[in-house]
Structure 1
């Protein structure tokens, strides 16, 4: 979908925020996606850092501005201002850390509050990192994540491994496609007029259902099948 306000060949700039507890591998995910590098001994992010990457998805060109925020509570004052203006949020946990999975609710609520978005229509993606661990180390399975996504109106989730690179690019591509669906639906709700990207668009209940609820169960089932 190309906005009439944007030159044909100009990249679509999307701000992507990666949230989750410290130690779940947010920086490793970002670095794997950005430069295809992995550092198993990387330190926790201090404050906030971001990187840009140009990517083409479904014949549209994007510049993804990915923000990695520190998961530790003491850095909360630094990260919250950066939520504003976000287009996509990756809620990240580690499949071998149940506490990090429990923390997703907190991260979602914090993002909704400080980014000032509608949680039922915003394109959240749940990412379960470190799926390269052994079965005996795993603490959270896909069925549990499916139930969480349905409860909190999250359309999609995917398991990744920054270490092996499995599904890392797929997670970001999935996120962009979910953003595109919501933008297309917003455009239809506005009657096809040009979208003013500087304001918050309030979606009616019909558009929310189409964007983030109508196909949620089937999409989550498809994701589950991939993970089996």
Structure 2
């Protein structure tokens, strides 16, 4: 199969947002590499990862942009919100301050992405139950009030990490199927790839360097 590297029907662009130290990079690493990075360095600007998943029999390539949580990088990371099909908004269940800042992150996400961007709220570090500072119920209520998907996960144990990325993808795919997501719109965050040329390179593969151009 010469076309194996391009054996997917869609590309979905994801961003991961949230305060510094909530485990955004660790979630990405666990999802793409199936490993936990105990000493995960803080992201400077943005980092990038990909993985091909399957939703309803369709192969989908996720392009995932992991953004820095520090305020000094916000101007840089905001440019990556544009054209995101999905946003993973992460807080740390053991640090209430990271939960209290969700409204600010959500405002950015709503203002800088398109109206159909699927936002999923993730309470990370679910393995640290004894240190819990935010209840499941209050986070679930916040998610419901704001129309967000929600689950708790652990980048350390891998619990629900797969589900976090998959649930967002299922919702995006559903939006494509019911026509609420316009694939022709540049900001949709989705590219459709019906087939790849034999042994050839796909010419409309997104170029990361050009991402975030607001012109």
TM-score tier by shorter-chain length is 0.7 to 0.9
> Could you tell me which of 177, 186, 205 is aligned with 1:198?
186
| 2:154 maps to 1:173 | no
Contact persistence 2:8–2:52 (CA under 8 A) = no
Q: Given the alignment, which residue of 103, 106, 120 partners 1:105?
A: 103
Q: TM-score with structure 1 length normalisation?
A: 0.75
Q: Is the 8 A contact 2:8 2:58 kept in 1?
A: no
Paired position in structure 2 for 1:20? 18
* CA distance in structure 2 between the partners assigned to 1:40 and 1:72 by the alignment: 20
- Which structure is higher in helix share? 1
Q: Decide whether aligned partners of structure 1 residues 25 and 48 sit closer, same or farther in structure 2, where only a CA change above 3 A counts.
A: same
5+ residue gaps, structure 1, are 1-8, 201-228
Higher relative contact order (CA 8 A, sep 6+): 2
**Contact 1:123 1:182 survives alignment (8 Å):** no
- Partners of 2:152 and 2:184 in 1: CA distance: 34
Q: What residue number does 2:139 align with? A: 145
Map 1:1-228 → 2, pairs under 5 A? 10-115=8-113, 117-118=114-115, 121-135=116-130, 137-154=131-148, 156-185=149-178, 187=179, 195-198=183-186
1:97, distance to aligned residue in structure 2 (A):
0.9
1:53 is paired with a residue whose SS is strand
Count of aligned residue pairs for this structure pair: 182
* Structure 2 gap segments, 5+ residues each: 1-6, 189-215
TM-score (norm 2): 0.79
Offset at 1:88? 0.2
For 1:99 and 1:114, the matched residues in 2 are separated by 23
Q: Is the 8 A contact 2:84 2:117 kept in 1?
A: no
Q: C-alpha displacement at 1:22, in angstroms?
A: 0.3
Q: Is the 8 A contact 2:118 2:171 kept in 1?
A: yes
